[in-house]
Structures are given as structure tokens and as C-alpha cells.
Amino acid sequence: MHDAPLFLGLTRPPKIFGLPIGYFVSLMLGSVIPFVGANDWRFLLIGILGYPVLWFVADRNPNLFETAAVVFSRTPRTRGKSAFGGDRHVS
């Protein structure tokens, strides 16, 4: 069932300009917002160069940002974080 075209079409993430929404938002936050704030054209160059890279990564894994959000929201902090500066998930 996972190989059926209907199933794949219904489960793919929504896209803007060929990029999934998480990738598009990160591209805009990294290029357009600083361009408007600093009025420097080099930030637009970051967006132009970053678009093909993000498109290639999104083609390989379109759910990267959703996966990272779930991992960071569901992984609990450990008691040793304040003492040692890091998390250890070893039983």
C-alpha cells in the first residue's frame, strides 16, 4: 500500500515554490528577513544559493524539520543537564 501512487500523493507534505513549508520558512528567515532588516543584497545571494541546496535535501527527506521538531519536543531532559552541561540517554 505504501507504494501506491494515491497513498504517496496524499501523504506528501505541502510545498511552496517546490520546497516543503519548513524548508521554505527557513530559507525566508535566513535570506529575506535579514535583507529587509539590513538592506544588504548579500542576504538575497544566500537565498539564491541556498534554494538549490534545500531543494536537493528536501528531495531526499521532505520531513526533516517535522522529524527534528518531534525529536526535540518528545526527548526529555535528564537530571545531569545542569550538572554536566549535556544530556545522557543511557540506561
Mean pLDDT of 54-80: 81
This prediction has a pTM of: 0.65
Residues 6+ apart with CB under 8 A from 78: 87, 88, 89
d(CA 79, CA 63): 30
What's residue 8's pLDDT? Answer: 66
Cell triple for residue 57? 535535501
- So what's the pLDDT on residue 79? 67
Quote the percentage of the chain above a pLDDT of 90.
Answer: 33
- Backbone φ and ψ of 69, nearest 5°: -65, -40
Helices 64-74, 21-38: inter-axial angle, 10-degree rounding: 90
Distances in Å between the Cα of 34 and the Cα atoms of 52, 53, 55 are 19, 19, 21
Query: What confidence score (pLDDT) does residue 66 get?
Result: 81
pLDDT value at position 2?
Answer: 65
